Structure formats: structure tokens, C-alpha cells
Amino acid sequence: MRLGNTSMWRLLFSALIWLGLHASAIAEVRSIDWLELIPAEELKEMESQPIVDHNGSPIAPDYSNSHPVLTMNDVEGRIPGYIVPISVTEENTISEFFVVPYFGACIHVPPPPPNQIIYVKPDKPIEMTEIWAAYWIEGTLKLENQANSLGQSSYSMELSSVTPWEG
């Protein structure tokens, strides 16, 4: 069997090397589900709680002592959520924010448990977002407690990107 044109083989070999070097960039980014951030025993307890309405009946349980999932530290991926600005610059960009699983979280009482809030302080402020729109927040999760008047988080994220959510 004859191997054929040497230039064709070189081109094929080069293409295979390029694909190998860029395989991680081609691979899809891991999607993180909000429920992955809640320990199994806490999730089971939360599922057995009655639904709370805005009149406070029944009284909402206190989840301020919730715990993070230790194996989620240093997980790279993306999570869909809503941006709650914490600090806004004079240029009207966001220099710190929380990411929450549903619209209005941290504004309505009670706020989500700390393991359902992610704190982000980007290296460079991001453009002001539409707070009623969902976004994909991509980066590396870290176990880190943060608290302010809007809420308390069990996680932070080293931000790679923020993109509008399309579903």
C-alpha cells in the first residue's frame, strides 16, 4: 500500500497536533447546578420544609448556618444566575456582586442560604447588567465566606466571563 502525497500527510499530522493542543478549549465548559452547592443532608432537610409565602406563614426556616460542599472548591465551570450588584463604580460598572439562583434574591426576605449565593469580585469591573435578566457566570468556585447587608455567601468565584443566559 502506497502512502501517497507527503504534503497531505504533513497537513494531516499538523491538524492532529493542533487538535490535541486545543482539545481543552474545544471541550464544553462544565455546567454547575445550584443544587450541587448544597450538602445532601441539608438538601433533604430543605425538601421536607413547608412552602413559605410572603406573609410569613409558616415562618421561614433559618438557613444562615448552611454549609458549602467541600468538593466544589476549585471546580471550574459555569452557573446560570442573577447578578446582584454590591459595588458600582463612578463609571457605572460593577466591581463586586453576588450571583443568586432566582430573580429578587437578597432583596426579598428571607435571602437564599449562604450556599446558594456566590460572591464575585472581578479583576476588572464588568458592564452594568440588566438585573432582571439571567447570565452565565463562568470561572473557578472557591470556598470563601463573604457577608454584607445584602446577604452572606459560602462561595466565591474567580471570574472568567459573564454572558447572557440563553435557554
- Look at residue 73 in the predicted model and tell me its pLDDT: 98
**In 3D, which of 123, 120, 113, 127 has the Cα closest to residue 63?**
113
- C-alpha 69/C-alpha 107 separation (Å) is 25
In whole angstroms, how far apart are CA 104 and each of 23, 50, 100, 128, 158? 39, 20, 9, 17, 23
Q: How many residues does the chain have?
A: 167
Q: What tens-digit pLDDT sequence spans the chain (167 residues)?
A: 455 556 545 544 555 555 555 555 556 899 999 999 999 999 888 777 666 665 656 666 666 678 999 999 999 999 999 999 999 999 999 999 999 999 887 666 678 899 999 999 999 999 988 888 999 999 999 999 999 888 899 999 999 999 999 86
Backbone angles phi, psi at 61, to 5 degrees: -65, 155
The β-bridge relationship of strands 118-120 and 93-100 is antiparallel
CB of 113 closer than 8 Å to CB of 64: yes
- Look at residue 11 in the predicted model and tell me its pLDDT: 47
Domains of the chain: 29-164 (2.40.50.870)
**In 3D, which of 137, 112, 106 has the Cα closest to residue 32?**
137
- Look at residue 1 in the predicted model and tell me its pLDDT: 44
In sequence order, the β-bridge partners of residue 139 are 77, 159
| pTM, rounded to two decimals | 0.76
Find the distance separating the first CA and the last CA of the chain, reported in whole Å: 51
Sign of CA dihedral 86, 88, 89, 95: positive
**In 3D, which of 81, 116, 119, 120 has the Cα closest to residue 102?**
81
